[in-house]
Structure formats: C-alpha cells, structure tokens
C-alpha cells in the first residue's frame, strides 16, 4: 500500500508538469477511509501556499468540512518530494502521523526550489532576527488589524484581522495568500515588510519567504516587526465544528532548530524505481524551465 500511494503522488506530479499546471510535486494524504491527492498549483493559482501537501489537506477540508485530522485515523502523507518547512509545519499542526517521500530537498534545490535554504534559516533560530516594537501595536490598532503587509513606501498591501482567518487557521498564512491575490503576483515588491501582533507560526513565516518578503539583502534581519513576543496560534475546527486552539509554533521552531524531536515520523522510500520516477519528473520540469514553459515556484 505505501508504494502504491507514493506512486500515485508521483503520477500526479508528472501529470502536473506535462499539463504545465505547476511544479513537479504531488501528494497523497491517506486516512483510514479516504485518500486525498493533489499537485502543486502555485503558479496557476497565484498562491505561494498552493503546494501539493497543502492542497491535499485542503481537499480533505473540502470533503470533510472540518480542519483537523483524527489521530485514530493515523493519517499518512505520501509526498513525491521531501516537504518544504511550510508543509512540514502544516503536517505537524494538523496531526499527520507519518510522512513518506521520494525525492530529497537537495534534488528540489537542483531544479530551482530553494527550500534547503529555508531549512538552514530555521536551524539558525529565525526569532532572533525578528524586530520587536511596542509601537507596532499602535499601527495595528489604527488599522484595526492583527497583521499588515506593506511595501517599502509603507503602502498597505494587505490588512488582516483574526476574524478573517481562512481554512488553515493562521492569520500569517491567509495574509500572505491574500497579498498574492491582491497584487496578482507570487513575489511581493522589494522592501515589503510585515507588521504583526504575534510571532508568526513557522508555516506563515515560510509562506512569507516563498512570497519573497522575509529575507533582505541589506542586513541579517527578517522583514517582520512583531508587537509582542507571543507566538501565533492556529485555530482549526474539530469534528464537531468547534474552533480549537493549537499552540505549537514555538515547539515547531524548536523542532526545526533540532532542539526537540519531530512529532511526525519521516521516511524516505527505499524503492529505487520510485526514487527514479520522482527524479524523472524533476528532469521533465527542468526541461520545461529551459524551454520557458515553467518557472520553479
């Protein structure tokens, strides 16, 4: 069964590349009674969070109508490639028990997907590179917002408050996502920055990096100003449809830094044929890039 599900994830990745609908990544989220398959649709959806793993989870939400996996279902995520940190943070938050993958993050890096750099960034404790300012709360209050995204001339790109949180229950994720939609662009203008009430959840932090907000050329600091040292919590619905709070952002940062053990079991398949199939999908995508038919996003 594991081989079959991983093959399915790679198959949708390949079909996605052939159809020129996005990156060479596919995922299959398997619960006790169901299976949700999805591919990467970042470019066509103009959504930096539209990774295969996130999309598989969104398919689960759409079908089940609630936003948290049942641990009794022992949910497993089969992914054609090792997860980026954004998807890993999501997997931990929503209660994935196990991840099985084929290609590595180094393979992904070789065709232009730089999540290896993101893992390095997280290992170095990004919190120390955030700016904390008590004035930020005034700016947020003036805008009646918990999250603001501005360009370098301080023009507002997105203003979000907690009441507007979308499916993944994180204001940092929905803020970045809406910014992409507002500007119809995957990358925010150079010099853009975030003002936020709380330290972003790692999923939102990396979503901001995918939208090219986080890192800047001038210094080592990240382009995020936090009003408090409180961590952002995820709000997800349980089976009954009631919102529950998941306070795991600090734990996930510690996991990425190597200070705590990951709650998800992660394996790379040992099946060489499957690994080769996954790599072939990457080669196919590299060819598309060369022919200007695809961009690595």
Positive or negative torsion for Cα 58, 85, 256, 135: negative
CB of 120 to Zn ion, least distance (A): 16
* 42 forms part of the interface with Zn ion (CB under 5 A): no
Active site residue 265: no
The residue range among 43-51, 171-179, 267-275, 278-286 that interacts with Zn ion, by the rule CB under 5 A, is: 43-51
CA angle 62, 66, 69 (to 5 degrees): 105
The residue range among 47-55, 101-109, 117-125, 181-189 that interacts with Zn ion, by the rule CB under 5 A, is: 47-55
For residues 115 and 121, what is the distance between their CA atoms, to the nearest angstrom? 10
For residues 137 and 197, what is the distance between their CA atoms, to the nearest angstrom? 7
Burial class (CB in 10 A: 0-12, 13-18, 19+), 24: buried
| 84 or 188: CB nearest Zn ion | 84
* 206 forms part of the interface with Zn ion (CB under 5 A): no
Return the structure tokens found at 146. Answer: 């918990």
* 177 forms part of the interface with Zn ion (CB under 5 A): no
CA atoms within 13 A on the CB side of 278: 30
Catalytic residue among 4, 15, 20, 53: 53
CB of 240 to Zn ion, least distance (A): 29
For residues 147 and 8, what is the distance between their CA atoms, to the nearest angstrom? 38
| 195 or 214: CB nearest Zn ion | 214
Return the structure tokens found at 161. Answer: 């408050």
Total residues interacting with Zn ion, rule: CB under 5 A: 4
CB of 88 to Zn ion, least distance (A): 8
The residue range among 76-84, 96-104, 194-202, 249-257 that interacts with Zn ion, by the rule CB under 5 A, is: 76-84
The residue range among 28-36, 45-53, 135-143, 239-247 that interacts with Zn ion, by the rule CB under 5 A, is: 45-53
**Cα–Cα nearest to 43, from 207, 192, 180:** 180
The residue range among 34-42, 48-56, 164-172, 207-215 that interacts with Zn ion, by the rule CB under 5 A, is: 48-56
Q: Which of 10, 84, 122, 199 contacts Zn ion by CB under 5 A? A: 84
SS3 92: helix
- In sequence order, which residues have a C-beta less than 8 Å from that of residue 51 and are 6 or more positions away? 23, 25, 27, 40, 42, 84, 86, 87
| 24 or 140: CB nearest Zn ion | 24
CB of 153 to Zn ion, least distance (A): 31
Q: Which long-range contacts (CB under 8 A, 24 or more apart) does 122-127 make?
A: 122/85, 122/202, 122/206, 122/253, 122/256, 122/257, 123/256, 123/257, 123/258, 124/257, 125/253, 125/257, 126/205, 126/222, 126/253, 127/199, 127/253
| 22 or 136: CB nearest Zn ion | 22
| 146 or 209: CB nearest Zn ion | 209
CB of 251 to Zn ion, least distance (A): 19
CB of 234 to Zn ion, least distance (A): 16
* 51 forms part of the interface with Zn ion (CB under 5 A): yes
* 87 forms part of the interface with Zn ion (CB under 5 A): yes
> Mind telling me the catalytic residues?
53
Question: Site residues (CB under 5 A) for Zn ion?
Answer: 51, 84, 86-87
């Amino acid at each position: 069964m594991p081989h079959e599900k991983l093959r399915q994830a790679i198959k949708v990745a390949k079909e996605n590349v052939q159809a020129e609908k996005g990156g060479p990544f596919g995922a299959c989220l398997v619960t006790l009674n169901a299976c949700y398959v999805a591919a990467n649709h970042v470019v066509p959806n103009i959504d930096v969070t539209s990774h295969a793993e996130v999309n598989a989870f969104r398919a689960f939400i759409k079908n089940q109508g609630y936003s948290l996996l049942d641990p009794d279902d022992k949910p497993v995520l089969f992914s054609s490639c090792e997860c980026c940190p954004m998807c890993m943070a999501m997997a931990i938050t929503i209660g994935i028990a196990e991840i099985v993958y084929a290609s590595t993050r180094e393979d992904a890096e070789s065709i232009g997907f730089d999540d290896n750099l993101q893992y390095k960034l997280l290992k170095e404790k990004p919190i120390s590179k955030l700016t904390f300012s008590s004035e930020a709360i005034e700016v947020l209050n003036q805008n009646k917002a918990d999250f603001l995204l501005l360009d370098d001339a301080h023009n507002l790109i997105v203003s979000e408050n907690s009441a507007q949180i979308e499916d993944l229950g994180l204001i940092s994720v929905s803020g970045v996502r809406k910014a992409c939609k507002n500007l119809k662009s995957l990358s925010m203008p150079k010099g853009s920055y975030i003002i936020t009430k709380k330290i972003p959840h790692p999923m939102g932090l990396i979503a901001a990096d995918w939208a090219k907000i986080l890192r800047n050329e001038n210094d080592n600091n990240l382009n995020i100003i936090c009003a408090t040292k409180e961590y952002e919590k995820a709000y997800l619905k349980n089976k009954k449809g009631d919102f529950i709070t998941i306070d795991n952002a600090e734990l996930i940062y510690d996991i990425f830094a190597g200070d705590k053990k990951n709650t998800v079991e992660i394996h790379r398949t040992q099946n060489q044929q499957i690994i080769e199939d996954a790599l072939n999908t990457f080669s196919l995508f590299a060819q598309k890039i060369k022919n200007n038919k695809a961009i690595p996003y």
